[in-house]
Structure 1
Amino acid sequence: MEKPLFLYALCGSQRKASTNRRLLEALRDNAPAGVVVEICELIGELPIFNPDREGENTPAIVEEFAAKIRAANGIIVACPEYAHGLPGGLKNALDWLVSRDEVPFKPAMIAHASHRGDFALEQLTEVLKTMSLRLVDEAFLKISLLGKTDGGQSDVLAEAVKSGLLVSVLVKFCAAINRVGV
């Protein structure tokens, strides 16, 4: 039996009622056979990045986070826009990975749960490219959940499941991963 593809999802929002987290949960819950999506629970626990704490001084939780990134066949990133920028916790998590070898050329896809947020999307794209992640543009997912009631969000996500949108983007992402044999 073939080993499933492991996708590690980073949510920029740490809110319990985050629309981006809800979108990642929908991707996880509707992943096609042979694909496992795990949502990172470590971002809010990471200490503030400090280059003096790299190498032999790297905190254990950062090593745990990096090990998950290393094990992943691909990374899914979803984040809101805060004051025209990336959420600090997500940027901090990414900063911990900059000088490490887990991310160069690792496939990444962006999922976005809002009808707005272009500043954050531009910044996120720039940061991920600068870190040498391989963005899979054909797997970009944008579903507007922001500003909707819980029921409205459920309806939008149910339609995305019914239409095959969620599975489709994951299939495209996995195909891109498989093309390079990551």
Structure 2
Amino acid sequence: MKKIFAISGSTKASSTNGLYLSAISQLLGAAYEVTIFPSIADIPHFNPDLDLENPPQSIQDLRLNILQADGVIISTPEYAMGLPGSLKNLLDWTVSSASFSGKPVLAIVASTQGEKAYQSIIDILTVLEARVSAQLIPFAKARINNDAIVTDHQTLASLKNTIDAFVAGIENG
């Protein structure tokens, strides 16, 4: 069974991005074990001094989850025309570990506009040497219910196509 590690770029407990990750988990089905990271709100501020020899346990766990995953999914909003600071902070903690190097990563930006966050996450993941596939989901068009079911056909079709391409990247190594 392939392992997928999923990260919501939102600190909001009931975020749309969390719902997207749950919906994607359902779409992936039983062939994939999806682990959703509990919350980026619990990640300490990046400090290179703490990264030298013995990083905090939460960071060690984060890196291990990324390394052990066959692929990573990140779903994020756009804040102030960029990535949320908490998500950027999480990504900064992975630089020295090379956790994302060669890893298939699906980056989804679910936002009213989202173009700036979309470009930013692609740029950052490229620097981290991830194998990036991405999708921008405009909130104005997307509909998802509280059971994490994507209810509009256009978004669902687009999401399925994106997931299929991501899965193919994992399967083909």
Same fold (TM over 0.5): yes
Displacement after TM superposition at 1:42 (Å): 4.1
| Partner residue in 2 for 1:157 | 150
| Partner residue in 1 for 2:74 | 77
Find out whether 1:97 has 2:83 as its counterpart. no
RMSD: 2.5
Gaps of 5+ in 2: none
Which deviations, in whole Å up to 9, do the C-alpha atoms of 1:136-179 show, x marking residues without a partner?
3xxx334333598xxx5329813359955544432321111121
Moved more, 4-13 or 167-176: 167-176
Which deviations, in whole Å up to 9, do the C-alpha atoms of 1:96-141 show, x marking residues without a partner?
00011321111111122234110111111100101111113xxx33
Amino acid of the structure 1 residue aligned with 2:150:
L
SS in 1 for 2:151: helix
| Partner residue in 2 for 1:123 | 120
- Structure-to-structure mapping, 1:16-27, within 5 angstroms: 16-27=13-24
- Structure-to-structure mapping, 1:143-182, within 5 angstroms: 143-145=137-139, 153-154=144-145, 157-160=150-153, 165-180=158-173
SS in 1 for 2:145: helix
The structure carrying a bigger strand percent of its residues is 2
| Partner residue in 2 for 1:9 | 6
Gaps of 5+ in 1: none
Q: TM-score scaled by structure 1?
A: 0.83
Find out whether 1:141 has 2:139 as its counterpart. no
- Conserved in 1, the CA contact under 8 Å of 2:77 and 2:111? yes
- Conserved in 1, the CA contact under 8 Å of 2:73 and 2:106? yes
162 and 51 in structure 1: CA distance in 2 versus 1, 3 angstrom threshold: closer
Residue from 99, 105, 109 that aligns with 1:108: 105
Amino acid of the structure 1 residue aligned with 2:19:
R
Q: TM-score scaled by structure 2?
A: 0.87
* Residues matched between the structures, number: 171
